[in-house]
Amino acid sequence: MNPISRNEHYSYSIYADAANADRFDESHFGGPIGELIVAEQERVLKQFLGDLRDLTVLDVGTGTGRAALAIAGWGAKVTGVDASIEMLRVAQKHAEDAGLKIAFLPGDAHSLDFSDQSFDDSVSLRMLMHTPDWRRCLAELCRVTRGRVVFDYPPLVSAGSLHVVIRRIARWAGRNVEAYHLIRTSAVRSVLAESGFQIAKIHRQFVLPIALHKLVGSRNFTRQVEKLLEAAGLQRLIGSPVTILAQRFVSGSTGEKAS
């Protein structure tokens, strides 16, 4: 496959901007709903991965280091990789402020500069949806991992799909927005199988679009409404984003479970 050009895709240009990197955390994870999203991400990571003390963990598309910081705080030896030097600058500052030792390195998720099965576990949050070739990135995650891979994505079947359509129209009209793509879970299973992995656990988050929850801006509203929709069985069907725990295939495995 031809190398991915950084001049041809927004995922490189937007995050390479210093001003965007400086305000990334506040714009994406600030406010009551942003804080709720971060707390839920960390809860699911901890539930999926358990005791990480002394394990090596790779965080691909680390951005400002959100997941890397949490994982390092749980005792893992963490390496964070991102294509944006500016995002890595912010991540390094966060690590220093937290007193955590994390190796932040520049790199492209489509072609990771690590040998096969270099890490015990790998993590990638909010990245596949923005990459030019998510299949290639997921295969790379699996290649460099000998144990488990945790990643997430917006599924094709979800209420958030309308939001994606709106963002694509806005980008087509010339607005500088992240026109991310939706991913089929069946396609995810296929890429994992080709890489020798299988789904062990699945977690689905919001039924209503995150943009709507941010617009309302009430943590209580989000919790109560999503609890009702979960009770109605909608979260299991159309919850988004989907977070996956995948592990190397072991003969006799019982297969995937919902968390």
pLDDT, one tens digit per residue, over 127-141 is 999 899 999 999 999
Place of tokens 């927005």: 177
For residue 168, what pLDDT band results from cuts at 50, 70 and 90? Answer: low
Report the share of the chain in percent with pLDDT over 70: 86
**How large is the average pLDDT for residues 74-95?**
98
Asked if pLDDT for residue 207 goes beyond 80, the answer is yes
Q: Which CATH class is domain 10-258?
A: alpha beta
For residue 166, what pLDDT band results from cuts at 50, 70 and 90? Answer: low
How is residue 251 annotated by DSSP?
Answer: T
pLDDT, one tens digit per residue, over 25-57 is 998 899 999 999 999 999 999 999 999 999 999
Q: Where are the domains of the chain?
A: 10-258
Asked if pLDDT for residue 7 goes beyond 80, the answer is no
C-alpha 105/C-alpha 113 separation (Å) is 10
Tokens of 101: 């030792």
Tokens of 54: 């002394």
pLDDT at 210: 87
**How large is the average pLDDT for residues 143-159?**
92
Q: Which amino acid is at 253?
A: S
Contact yes or no for 139/115 (Cβ under 8 A): no
pLDDT at 1: 39
C-alpha 204/C-alpha 213 separation (Å) is 16
Q: Could you tell me whether strands 119-124 and 197-206 are parallel, antiparallel, or unpaired per DSSP bridges?
A: unpaired
**How large is the average pLDDT for residues 155-163?**
74
Q: The pTM is what?
A: 0.88
pLDDT at 258: 65
C-alpha 86/C-alpha 175 separation (Å) is 22
C-alpha 69/C-alpha 92 separation (Å) is 10
Contact yes or no for 2/8 (Cβ under 8 A): no
Question: Which residues, 6 or more positions from 238, have their beta carbon under 8 angstroms from its beta carbon?
Answer: 155, 157, 158, 159, 204, 207
